[in-house]
Amino acid sequence: MENYAPVPPFSLLFYIPFTFLKLAVAKLVFNVLGLFIFCFSLSRLIGQIKFFCLSFYFLPLIFFQPIFSNFHHGQAYLLIATLFFEFYIAFQNNKKVTVGWIVVLLFALKIFPAFIAIFLIFKKDWKSIQWMVFFSIILCVICYFAIGANTVNYYYLDVFPRLALNDITAPFYFYNQSIYTFFLNAFVAQPYLNPSPVINAPIIAVILQLLFCAFVFSMFITIILKQSFMVSFFVTVLVLFLLNKYSTVYGLIVLFPFVFLAKELPAKKSMLISIILLILCNIPIYKLQNAPLLFQYTRVWLLILLFILLISTLKTSFDLKYFFISLLIFALPSLAFYKYTNDPDLEMRPKAGVLYNFNVARDHIKLYTCLGNRDSVEYINFTALIIDSTSIEMNQAVFLPGNKAVFVNNEKLIYMTDENNGVGLYYLKVKTPRIINN
C-alpha cells in the first residue's frame, strides 16, 4: 500500500507512460530522463547568465545527498529544479506565456515550489500572472475530465487544506527539517506523538513562528524590491524553503541554482555559501535522532545562517512597515499549533506500518497493517462485551477505510482516523459520543 494523496491530481496523468514498465525499469527511466533534462536546462541557464567557474564541477559533490535521495525515492525534484531554471530564462527573455505555463507545471507537480509566483506579484508582471491563471483553468479542466471530479475535488477541498497545515505526513517527525516542526516539538505536547516537549506552551510556538515568518518575509520584500533580478530570484527560492512547513532532503535540490549568486557576491562570501550548502545538504540527519532537540534541526539552523549571511552581505535594512504587513499575513497560519492540543480521546497506534483495517473481538482489537509490500497483524488488549459493527458511509456513499467504525459496550465508538497524522496514515481512536436527548 502506498500513499500518493499529497501529490496533485495532475501526477496521475504525468506518470501514466511509466506505468507500462516494470517498477525497477520505470524508476530507472524516470531518473535518467529527469537527470538528462536537468543537465540540459542547467547548460541553458549557464548560457543565459553567461557565467561559469571551475567550482561548478563540484556541484554534484555539494548536492550529492539531495541528488541521491531523488534517485532513491524516484522523486520529481530534478524536474522542479529544471522548471526553476527555465522560469529564470523565460523571465529574463520576457516570455510571458512560457513563465505562466512553467508556474502552472510547478503547481501541478509539487505545491510549495509554485509559490515562486509571488515573485511575479512583486515584479508586477501582470501579463505572466494572466497566462498563469489561463493555463491553470485549462489544466484543471483537463484533470476534471481525464481523472474525474471526485478525485480532483477530494484533493483541493480535503487534502490541500491539510497540506497547508503540515498534516500530510507525521507532523512531529524530525526528518521534516522545518522551523515549524522544531517549534511544534519544542512547545506543543501531544500525548502520543510528543508527550515531553521542552515546555508545554503552544502560545510560545505561535509567537516565535509569527515573528520568524514576519522577519524573513519582510527582509525578502526589501530584497526583491531593491536588488537585481538575479539576487531577488535566488533569494525567493531560499525564502520558499525557509517558510515551508514540510522540508525534505530531496527538496534541497531546488537550491541548486543558488550557486550562481557567486557572480554577484564577493569571492570569500561565495566560498562560505558553498561550504554551508555542502554541509546542510549532506549532514546525516538520521544520526541526530537521539541528539538533543536543538541539534536535531541542524539543517534548519544552517538554512537560517545562509539567509542571515545573504542579508548582511547585501546590506539589507530592516523595514518596520514591511514587518507589520508580514505579521498580518502570517497571523492566522501561526495559530495552527493549537490544533494538536485538547484531544482527550484514547488513541491506538500500530507499532509498524499503516493501518488499513481492524476487527473488534470480545477480548482484543485486531489491527491489519501494511509496510511496503508486507502485511502484518497486531493485537491490542481490549474488553468489548457488546459489539455493534457498523460502517459510516460518507463522501457520496463511497466507502473509505476511515469510514469504518464499531460501537462497543453501548458507550464507546472505535473508528479509524488520520487526523493530525497525515493523509491516509490511519490509526484507531476510541471516543465516547455525546448523547443528545430530544
- Residue 5: its pLDDT value, please? 57
Residue labelled with grid coordinates 459520543: 433
Q: Could you write out the DSSP letters of every residue in 132-164?
A: HHHHHHHHHHHHHHHT-HHHHHHIIIIIHHHHH
Q: Is residue 6 part of a domain?
A: no
Q: Is the pLDDT assigned to residue 32 strictly greater than 70?
A: yes
Query: Residue 300 — very low, low, confident or very high, per pLDDT cuts 50/70/90?
Result: very high
What are the start-end ranges of the E strands in 8-96? none
CA distance 148 to 158: 15
Based on C-alpha coordinates, what's the Rg of the chain? 24
Query: Residue 343 — very low, low, confident or very high, per pLDDT cuts 50/70/90?
Result: low
Burial of 344 (0-12, 13-18, 19+ CB in 10 A): exposed
Are residue 171 and residue 125 in the same domain, yes or no?
yes
Query: Residue 408 — very low, low, confident or very high, per pLDDT cuts 50/70/90?
Result: confident
Strands 364-371 and 374-381 come out as: antiparallel
Over range 355-383, report the average pLDDT: 86
Are residue 402 and residue 290 in the same domain, yes or no?
no
Are residue 265 and residue 394 in the same domain, yes or no?
no
Domain boundary among 288, 314, 340: 340
Are residue 177 and residue 261 in the same domain, yes or no?
yes
Are residue 180 and residue 202 in the same domain, yes or no?
yes
- Residue 50: its pLDDT value, please? 84
Query: CA 26, 27, 32, 34: dihedral to nearest 10 degrees?
Result: 100
Q: Is residue 299 part of a domain?
A: yes
Q: Is residue 234 part of a domain?
A: yes
Domain boundary among 340, 367, 385: 340
- Quote the longest CA-to-CA distance of the chain: 79
Are residue 355 and residue 324 in the same domain, yes or no?
no
Are residue 220 and residue 365 in the same domain, yes or no?
no
Nearest to 112 by CA among 72, 180, 160, 75: 160
Are residue 309 and residue 387 in the same domain, yes or no?
no
Under 8 Å CB-to-CB from 105, ≥6 apart: which residues?
Answer: 83
Q: Is residue 3 part of a domain?
A: no
Q: Determine which of 61-70, 185-194, 308-317, 418-427 has the lowest per-residue pLDDT on average.
A: 418-427
- Residue 273: its pLDDT value, please? 85
**Residue-range definition of the domain harbouring residue 410:** 346-431
Q: Is residue 313 part of a domain?
A: yes
CA distance 398 to 379: 28
78-88 burial, b at 16+ Cβ within 10 Å, e below that, comes to bbbbbbbbbbb
Are residue 393 and residue 269 in the same domain, yes or no?
no
Q: Is residue 183 part of a domain?
A: yes
- Residue 389: its pLDDT value, please? 64
Query: Cell digits for 401?
Result: 477505510
Are residue 165 and residue 295 in the same domain, yes or no?
yes
Q: Is residue 385 part of a domain?
A: yes
Nearest to 256 by CA among 79, 135, 121: 79
Domain boundary among 292, 313, 340: 340
What is the tens place of the pLDDT at every residue in 266-294? 878 888 888 888 898 898 888 888 889 99
Under 8 Å CB-to-CB from 153, ≥6 apart: which residues?
Answer: none
Number of domains the chain is built from? 2
Are residue 300 and residue 364 in the same domain, yes or no?
no
Rounded to two decimals, the pTM is 0.84
Under 8 Å CB-to-CB from 128, ≥6 apart: which residues?
Answer: 91, 96, 99, 100, 103, 120
Q: Is residue 32 part of a domain?
A: yes
- Residue 184: its pLDDT value, please? 92
Are residue 206 and residue 100 in the same domain, yes or no?
yes
- Residue 394: its pLDDT value, please? 45
Q: Are 197 and 185 in contact (CB under 8 A)?
A: yes
